[in-house]
Amino acid sequence: MGMARTLKFGAGSPQKSAPHVLAELLAPGRPLVMGILNVTPDSFSDGGRFFEPGKAIAHARDMADHGADIIDIGAESTRPYGGPVPVSADDEKTRLATVLPEVVRLGVPVSIDTIKATIAAWALDQGAAIVNDVWGLQRDPDMPLLVAKRGVPIIVMHNRESADSAIDIVADVINFFARSLEIAGRAGIARKDIVLDPGIGFGKTPEQSITCIARLAEFKRFGLPLLVGASRKRFISTVTPSTPDERIGGSISAHLLAVAKGATIIRAHDVAETVQALRVAAAIEAAR
């Protein structure tokens, strides 16, 4: 780490995002919905649908209107089922350049979904408020220092290069989180700024993804908010054969169960349906 990286990122311009955005989002004590915005041509669920900037901005506006608490924007497909095509930092920034500032102007906190510290830094300068790292601070060695220096929330997601059906996936996730939290602590990231995501579909068999949701409460041992993104994931198709755009019902079912087991944030493609499901479930619970 050291001085070189400190100077590399520098103090930058004054941080535009609210320094306590995560605490403010969590304060009402209800599950939050993070809407997914893929500015990519090859995402598994909606590849290319929102690649054109105008369509991406319009979709973000729709998600905000339908109750999204956070909009998560990414410009490099992580393709959880293999075959991701790496995108250069320049190309990633080009995809984001027109879209991200306009999405920030909607007034909903924006999360930047990237594994590159340089892209995260640029996005934060444009007004993004949260960093979403699908490699949980364990891929780009500059990411922990950047997040610590900016004092922004970080979503730490579990990932693996490939699935291994022989392992205890819950133990693997717990060990991964422990390593990520050690990295975060050394960098100076405050625990209040950390959200944990078990990475449904990433480096997991469908059965392991189901297990992570079923045993989600075991990840509460860290005392940190949990995010679950089961939206349109392949494990749904192993229960009931379906294409990604036919998995709304399975996504909502998984997300309602995840909330019941302790999830604080739900990451979803279908924001209106997810918000409605969570509100109805909450109303029913309140009437008990």
- Mean pLDDT over residues 96-113, rounded? 97
To the query of whether residue 267 is one of the catalytic residues in this protein, the response is yes
Q: What does the pLDDT average to over 159-178?
A: 98
Asked whether residue 6 carries a pLDDT value surpassing 90, the answer given is no
Answer yes or no: is pLDDT of 7 > 90.
no
How high is the pLDDT of residue 240? 97
Give pLDDT tens digits for 34-71. Answer: 999 999 886 555 556 666 899 999 999 999 999 999 99
Contact 163, 121 (CB under 8 A): no
Q: Residue 20: pLDDT band by 50, 70, 90 thresholds? A: confident
Task: Judge whether residue 84 has pLDDT over 90.
Answer: no
Spacing of C-alpha 286 from chain mean position:
28
The DSSP result for 135-155, as a single string, is TTTSS-TTHHHHHHHHT--EE
Query: Distance between CA atoms of 70 and 154, rounded to whole angstroms?
Result: 13
Of 116, 233, 234, 247, catalytic: 233
DSSP conformation class of 226? B
DSSP-assigned beta bridge partners for residue 130: 111
Residue with tokens 């399975």: 250
pTM: 0.91
Q: Tokens 């100076």 identify what position? A: 188
Q: What is 23-286's CATH number?
A: 3.20.20.20
Quick: pLDDT tens for 112-160: 999 999 999 999 999 999 999 999 999 999 999 999 999 999 999 999 9
pLDDT, mean over the chain: 91
Mind listing the pLDDT tens digit for each residue in 196-208?
A: 999 999 999 999 9
**Segment among 10-24, 26-40, 112-126 with least mean pLDDT:** 10-24
Residue with tokens 């920030």: 104
> Which residues fall within 8 angstroms of residue 101, CB to CB, at 6 or more apart?
126, 127
Q: What is the pLDDT of residue 52?
A: 87
**CA 78, 115, 178 angle in degrees (round to 5)?**
100
d(CA 239, CA 242): 9
Domain positions in the chain are 23-286
C-alpha span between 208 and 210 (Å, rounded): 5
Output the pLDDT for position 212.
98
More confident residue, 79 or 10: 79
Answer whether residue 17 shows pLDDT above 70.
Answer: no
Query: Could you tell me the two tokens for 14?
Result: 């004054």
